[in-house]
Copies of this chain bind each other. A is one copy, B any other.
Amino acid sequence: MSKKHSTSQDVAELAGVSQATVSRVFAGGAIVSEKKKKKILEAAEALGYQPNAHARSLITKRTRMIGVVMRNIRNPFYSAVLEIFHNRLSALGYHLIFINSTNEEIQEKEISQLLEYNVEGVIITDALLSSSAALKFKRSEIAVVLFNRYTEQAGSSSVFCDNYLATKQIAAYLVELGHKSFAFISGPSDTSTTLDRLKGFEEVLKERNIDEFMIESGNYTYESGFKSAQELMTKNKHIDCVFCGNDIIALGAMDAIRVIGLRIPEDVSVFGFDNIRMGAWPSYSLTTWEQPVEEMIDGTIEILLNEIKDNTAKPKTLMFKGHMVVRNSVKKK
């Protein structure tokens, strides 16, 4: 029977070499004679040796760990995001510490966890970083990128879609199709995402002199979308177009509208945001705005890796445009 964990020392003894030589084989990049190398690998195999990443990181100062802080993993948009982040980072030799945050702002406790484990970088999706939190990461020289959010303070990098521009285009499109009475079912009313989307939309409506505009805010879930739509539509029977803060809200809204007995898009048009796969399902066929997830993720990783390599790098902001995906939830002229 072998010990719980064999160490490089154990391997060294079995192979008849020094611990240093074993380390050289596993750390790579050093010269070891073929003969000893073979012996060492055999010994390692026999003992089931695996280098200890913690001991290694103590020396190298590299943990090869990245923290992923995510809210709302139940939202298919973020499940997909997590999957893609994992696949990309894993291929690059990084490991993911997953943290499911429940708050709009990342918490002290979560930060501590990431600092203790000395992650090299942190990706924060759909949540904010207080300036004190940002400072903590900065002080520990941990790279941080916000995904799908941005901060005014410009302290940290962020990658997101230009929500303002997108919603302006969306609103213009919907107005031109002849809709008269609008509703916006949003996420939490204190998030930048929500505010930007609202701002762009509202501006266009004003420009076009449309003042029938109801707003109902909740959170980014199906249930919230369902409930909001139910309330809106029963109280305001004339609404003919509902713009939703994201796709999952839109699906909830569509179901609520149909339950009431209204048809989509004949009676009411529904527009989403994100372009999650479910929107393409024939039961919904949701017209929406696509966020170019893959490109956004690639951009996030590029910024993150760059900041890890060079901790003097200036915070970067990467803004994507996205584009409209027309299906059948919006009434055509």
- A259 near B282: Cβ-Cβ < 8 Å: yes
Tell me if A34 counts as interface (CB < 8 A to partner B). no
Does any Cβ of B come within 8 Å of A98's Cβ? yes
Please classify how large the interface on chain A is, using the bins under 10, 10 to 19, 20 to 34, 35 or more: 35 or more
Q: Are B51 and A54 in contact (CB under 8 A)?
A: no
Q: What's the least CB distance linking A221 to chain B, in Å?
A: 10
Q: Is A103 an interface residue (CB 8 A)?
A: no
Asked whether any CB of chain B lies closer than 8 Å to the CB of A76, the reply is: yes
**For residue A117, which residues in chain B have a CB less than 8 angstroms away from its CB?**
53-54, 95
Pick out which of these stretches binds chain B: A78-86, A174-182, A183-191, A232-240: A78-86
Residues of B within 8 A of A82 (CB): 73, 98, 100
Chain B interface: which of A12-20, A135-143, A301-309, A323-331? A135-143
Complex CA gap A54/B63 in Å reads 9
B-facing residues in A1-27 (Cβ within 8 Å):
2, 4-5
Question: When chains A and B are docked, how far (Å) is the Cα of A282 from the Cα of B136?
Answer: 46
Please, how many angstroms separate the alpha-carbon atoms of A6 and B283 in the complex? Answer: 56
Name the contact of A4 in the complex, choosing from B54, B136, B140, B278 (C-beta under 8 A).
B140
Q: Which of A97, A98, A254 has the most CB of B within 10 A?
A: A98
